[in-house]
Structure 1
Amino acid sequence: MNTPSLRPDADPVLRYLFVHAHPDDETLATGVALATLARAGHEVHVLTCTLGEEGEVIPPELAHLAADADDTLGPYRRGELRAAMSHLGVREHVLGEDPATHTGSAYRDSGMADTPANADPRSWVAADEAEAVAALREHMSDLAPDVVVTYDEHGGYLHPDHVTTHRRTRAAVAALPAQQRPRLYVVLSAQDEAAADRAWLPDVVDAAHGLTLLAAGEAYPPSVVDPALVTHEIVGDPADLAARDAALREHRTQVSVYDGGYYALSNDIAARLARADRFAALDPDTGALLPAPMAAEGAATLCEGRIVGLPAEGGR
C-alpha cells in the first residue's frame, strides 16, 4: 500500500465514536486505531450493540457460560469489554444498558447466519428497525461525536449483527440534522496486506498450538478489498500495539492471543495481529464510499492516520 503512515494529531482534540456489534469486535477490527487515537489525546468512545451472548466459549473452564448452558456469557463479556477498554483509555457504552448499574442491554446477540438465534425477538437483527436506528441516533445526538466509525456494508465477514450495525449506524447518522452530522467511516482491509499476512504466518505460527493456516488461494472475507478503496489508515507504534494486545487478551472467552504476533478465534484459524487499521469515508445518504479527495473536504476527517480539513470551530 502507498497510503502514508502518520500518527494522529491531537490538536484539536476530537471526539470519536466506534460502533460495534459485540464485545471483542472493537479490539479485533479497530484496536490499533482505538489505542493510537486515545494515546494521542483524542476522546474515544466505543458503543457496543449487544453483549455477544451467542459467542462460542474457548476456555473449557468457562464453557458453562454458553447460551446452551447457563446462558450467562453476556454479562461475562461485558466485564471483558470493560477490562479491555481500560487498557486503551477508551470510554465504553452498551446500547440500552442500565445507566445506574452499567448492566444489561436492549438487544441480544443474533448468532451466526441461519441459526435459530436469528429469530429470537430480543436479537439485534429482529429488532424493530426504526426503534433501533432511533436508539443509535439518540446516543449520537447526546455524545455529539466528530467522527463515527463502524463496519462496511459486508460487516467484515457477513455476520448478521455486523451487517445490521452498519446499516443502522449509517441510517442514524443520516437522520441527524446536517449541521450535527459527524463524518462517517467504515473499516476495510486491503487485499495486498491480507496476502502478505497469510504468507507471513507459516514462518511464525508454533505448530504446537494446532492452528489451521489458510492457503494463499483461499477466498478472503468480503471486506478485504482492492487497496485503492482504502483511503485512510492509522498505523500503531509499539506502545499502541502493546496496548491493543493487552486489551485483546481480556477477551479470552473469544480470542486466544499468542506470542509472536498472531491470534485465533474459536475456529482455531491463525490470523496475524494488525499493525494498522484501514478505513474509507462513507456517504451516509447513499452508502457510497468516498474517494480520498472528497473524504478530505469539510468536517473532521480521519485521513492517512491524522485529522485533516477540520474547520476551526470543530475542536473540543
Structure 2
Amino acid sequence: MARRLVLVHAHPDDETLTCGTTMAHHVARGDEVHVVTCTLGEEGEVIPAHLSELEGHPDDLLAEHRRGELAAALDALGATGHLLGHDGLGRRRYRDSGMAGSAAAVRRDAFVNADLTEAGAALAGLLRELRPDVVVTYDPQGGYSHPDHIQAHRLTRAALDQLTDAELPAHTYEILTPRTWAQEDRAWTRGASPAAYGLVVAGEDDPYPPSVVDDALVTHVVEDAGTRAAKLAALRAHATQVIVATDDLHALSNLIARRTTDREGFRRVDPRTWEPSPGEAGERTERPAAGLVD
C-alpha cells in the first residue's frame, strides 16, 4: 500500500543532504513524498564564481535562484515541494536567519523570529490536508545547531501539538547518524584524495555534530544503492551550495570533503513528547532498503 511522507527542512539542499536516499527510496516504492522548506536560504554562501553576485544581494536574488535549485532537486528525487507560509503569489513568509550570531537573525522576517503558534498552524493545516503516515525533521539540536534547523524542529513540534490524536501521523522521526557511520565516512574521505579536488578532510579529532549519536539510539535506517543516481542529480541541482567532486565525494562551501552515501539514519519518536517510541529505543533496523514504514 502506498504511504505518504512529509519532511520538514530549513533551507533548500538540506532535504537532499540529509534525506535524499530516503526520499528516492520511498518514491521508488510508490510512496508519495512531500518536502516542506521553511526558508529559501537567502544567507547561503555561493560557491560558483559566475554566480557570486547572488550572494548578499540587497534584493535577495539568491532566494529565487535557490527556489529553482530546490525545484530541480525535488524533481530528481520525485518529491513534491511546499514553501512554509507561501501565499500563492510568489511571496515568501520566512527568511533565512543565517548562522548563529548573524545580523540576519535580527530581521523581523527571520525564521528564528517566527511566531511558532502561527507558523505551526500553517504547517498543521498542511498536515491535515495531506494526512501523512510519516513526518520527519531534525533532532532538537537541529542536526548541527543551525538556528533555522532548531526552529524547524520546534515548528514541527508546534504543528503536531495542534493536531488531535486522530490527526497525528503514525510514525514520527528525527534525523540522526550512527557514530560508527560517521567514523567510517571520515576515514574513507582521508583515503579518497580530496586534495585532488581542492577539498580538505575534517581533522581526526574534530567534534562531530550533535546529530551523530551512539548507534543504539538510531532505531531505523534506509540503505538503498539504487537511489544513488537520483541523489547525485539532486545534489548537482543545488549548484550554488554543493560541490559534487565525484559520485562518492561532495562538499559545501567550507570545502570539507564529505562521503556521498546511500544510507541515512533516524530515530522514531513520540510526536507529543519527542521521547523514543516505546519498545524501539536501541532496536536499530538494519534491513537494506527497509524504509521508514512497512
Shorter-normalised TM-score: what interval? Answer: over 0.9
Moved more, 76-85 or 276-285: 276-285
Unaligned 5+ segments in structure 1 are 1-11, 297-301, 311-316
The alpha carbon displacement at 1:189 in A equals: 0.6
Per-residue CA distance 1:240-279 (angstroms, 9 max, x = gap): 1111011110001000011140111001111111221110
Unaligned 5+ segments in structure 2 are none
Answer whether contact 2:268 2:280 (CA < 8 A) is retained: no
The alpha carbon displacement at 1:121 in A equals: 0.4
The answer for the alignment partner of 2:252 in structure 1 is 265
The answer for the alignment partner of 1:314 in structure 2 is none
The answer for the alignment partner of 1:32 in structure 2 is 21
Answer whether contact 2:85 2:94 (CA < 8 A) is retained: yes
Please give the alpha-carbon distance, in whole angstroms, between the structure 1 residues aligned to 2:174 and 2:98: 22
Q: How does 1:1-316 map to 2 (within 5 A)?
A: 12-68=1-57, 70-99=59-88, 103-182=90-169, 183-237=171-225, 239-290=226-277, 293=280, 305-306=290-291
Residue type of the partner of 2:7?
F
Change (3 A) 1:167 1:235: same
The alpha carbon displacement at 1:232 in A equals: 0.4
Residue type of the partner of 1:306?
G
The alpha carbon displacement at 1:93 in A equals: 1.0
Please give the alpha-carbon distance, in whole angstroms, between the structure 2 residues aligned to 1:303 and 1:177: 32
Aligned residues: 290
Per-residue CA distance 1:179-222 (angstroms, 9 max, x = gap): 11012111001111100011111211342322121122211001
Residue type of the partner of 2:102?
T
Residue type of the partner of 1:222?
P
Please give the alpha-carbon distance, in whole angstroms, between the structure 1 residues aligned to 2:267 and 2:174: 6
| RMSD of aligned Cα (Å) | 1.9
Partner of 2:270, secondary structure, is coil
The alpha carbon displacement at 1:30 in A equals: 0.3
* TM-score (normalised: structure 2): 0.93
Answer whether contact 2:173 2:269 (CA < 8 A) is retained: yes
Please give the alpha-carbon distance, in whole angstroms, between the structure 2 residues aligned to 1:295 and 1:217: 26
Change (3 A) 1:55 1:124: same
* TM-score (normalised: structure 1): 0.87
Residue type of the partner of 2:277?
L
The alpha carbon displacement at 1:291 in A equals: 5.5
Partner of 2:140, secondary structure, is coil
Superposition misfits of 4+ residues, deviation over 4 angstroms: none
